[in-house]
Structure formats: structure tokens, C-alpha cells
Amino acid sequence: MSNPPRHSPPSGSSRKRQELLYDPNIPTPTHAEYARTLIAGAADATLSTLAVNHHGHPYGSLVLFGMLDGDPILLISTLAEHTKNLLADQRCSLLVSAAGPENPLALGRVTLVATGEPVDGDSLAQAREAFLAKNPDASSYADFRDFQFWRLRVQSIRYIGGFGRMSWVPQPDWQAAEPDIVAPHAAGMIEHMNDDHVDAMILYCQAFSRARDLTAATMTGIDRYGFEMQAETADGPRPVRVAFDTAVTRPGQVRKELVAMVKRARTLLAEDASET
């Protein structure tokens, strides 16, 4: 399933400013993949339940979680308010937000609408493993008698990637998606490219997009399918996305792809120059 547009034209802008400088149909993570990646990198979440003692009003609380087959796994105290609420009404939701120095509303977040159920029997070992894989320090209290594992059976998924980027993610897409393998290493890769390879990024823009007249380029994101840059043009900063030839299957492939693309960019630009 295709995503809604990643970049909406600014209100009141000219037609020239509205046109993307790259092909919007090049490989890009789906909203399901963005959501799974965001959740994989998050440390905690906000659980909303229906309060028993306050006439069913929504009750928000901070929780740790793991993931098992697309469902959040919680380890919660039987004395906690949210546990009492879940025992009375299984309906709940989990809000997971990206962290960063920017405006929080410009960052990604995912809301999982679900029903909660205590985990027992044959599923308990899997749930325990999934939770402790993300929260190893919880092993010190995971087996206390007043703590219990819960599974939130996800029914609907709302992804918001920032201003103008949002959708309800279909269940089949959610179940099929996996966290991006590049994401845990992306910050270091972006810093390296911006510190040491500015010339290469200008070449990428000139060869693989319509951003030909630019003064600088900064990498802003990278994933298994490609990377994103901000190109400084006469019309101001403009987004540019460039795709790898094939999606990488391990982080170590990224460097090889970037080096190969520099060589290809130089060849393409030399050919264009010889034809003019």
C-alpha cells in the first residue's frame, strides 16, 4: 500500500516552490515501517486506560514495554491503577513518541488502539523474553508475585510522522513490517556524512535529483532504502530523497552503496557536461 504524500505544498507558495526536486515514487519506508522503527527505538510509552474510580475517564500512565508479533507486552503491578482499570475494561491505547530537540509536534508518534489481556500458560515465556529483551533491568522484579505480564492486542494503528504525514496503518501492513535495520546506526552515519562528505552530497543532489543549482547539502535521514538531504537552493532549503540501487540488508552495506553512488554520480555529471 502506498503512503500519503510526504511533502505537501506550502500554503500560498508559487508553483515552482511546490514541485518536488525528486521522484516521489522512489523506494521509501512505508508508514508501517516508520511506525515499527519508531517503536523499536522508544524507551517508554503512555498507556491510556478507562478509569474505574473516575467514571470511565481516560487515565494516562507511563509504562515500559516490549514487542511480540506486533503487540506490546507490559509488565505491570497488580496494585497499579492502570491494572485495575484493565481488569474492569480491556480497552486501552498506547502512545509511543519519538524523542528529540525539535518541536515535539514535528516528531513521529504512534498510537496503538488495543485490548489488554493477562499473559499466562504457554505464551508466558515468549512474553517474558520479549519484554526483557527491551528492558533487561526489569529482570530484578519480573518474577515478583505482584507483577504480571499483559499483552495489548493491537486493533488499529495511527502513525503521525510530523506535520502533514499521517495515516491509519492497515493491519496486514503492520504485521508484515519490521524495524529498519539502519535506524540504530543512522545518527552516526548522518554525522559522518555531514562532517566529512559534503561534496559527495552535492554530487548526489546534482546527479540523482533536479536540485542542480545548489550551494550546500545536508543529510537529514537514512534508512534501508536510501537517504534524505536538505539542499540549499536559490529558493531556500528543499528536501531531496535519493534511493539506493537495492535496499540494504545490513548496516555495513550502507558505506559501499554511498561510495558506489559517488562514482556513478561523477560519471553521470561528466556525461551530461560532454553533451552540452
Over the stretch 10-60, which tens digit does the pLDDT of each residue have?
334 444 445 899 999 999 999 999 999 999 999 999 999 999 999 999 999
Task: Report the pLDDT value the prediction gives residue 99, as an integer from 0 to 100.
Answer: 87
Maximum Cα–Cα distance across the chain: 77
Task: Report the pLDDT value the prediction gives residue 16, as an integer from 0 to 100.
Answer: 46
Average pLDDT over residues 185-211: 97
Average pLDDT over residues 162-187: 95
Ranges of beta strands (E only) in the chain are 45-50, 58-63, 66-68, 71-77, 91-97, 109-118, 147-162, 165-169, 214-222, 226-233, 236-243
Over the stretch 229-276, which tens digit does the pLDDT of each residue have?
999 999 899 999 999 999 999 999 999 999 999 999 999 999 988 886
Average pLDDT over residues 189-196: 98
Q: How far is CA 165 from the centre of its chain?
A: 12
Check whether 178 has a pLDDT greater than 80.
yes
Check whether 8 has a pLDDT greater than 80.
no
Task: Report the pLDDT value the prediction gives residue 90, as an integer from 0 to 100.
Answer: 98
3-state secondary structure of 47: strand
Between β-strands 109-118 and 91-97, what pairing exists: parallel, antiparallel or unpaired? antiparallel
Q: Who's near 260: CB < 8 A, 6+ residues apart?
A: 245
Distances (CA, A) of 89 to 27, 76, 164: 42, 16, 34
Ordered domains of the chain (ranges, CATH) = 33-176 (2.30.110.10), 183-275 (3.20.180.10)
Give the type of residue at 188: G
Over the stretch 95-149, which tens digit does the pLDDT of each residue have?
999 988 888 888 999 999 999 999 999 999 999 999 999 999 999 999 999 999 9
Secondary structure element (H or E) that encloses residue 52, with its range: none
Average pLDDT in the chain: 92
